[in-house]
Structure 1
Amino acid sequence: MIAGFLSGLWLAYGGMLALCMGLERHFKQVWQGLPTPLLRRGLRAVGWFGLGLSLVASVGAWGWAMGPVGGFGLISLAGFALVLLLPYRPRFAVWLPLGVAPIVALVWLMGL
Structure 2
Amino acid sequence: MSTASTPLGWVVVGVRFLLEMCVLLALGYWGYETGTGGLRYVLAVAAPLAAAVVWGAVVAPKAAFSVPPAVRLVVSLVVFAAAAGALYAVDRPVLAVAFAAVVVVDTALVYVLGLD
- Whether these two folds match at TM > 0.5 is no
Relative contact order (alpha carbons < 8 A, sep ≥ 6): 1 or 2 greater?
1
More helix by share: 1
Larger radius of gyration: 2
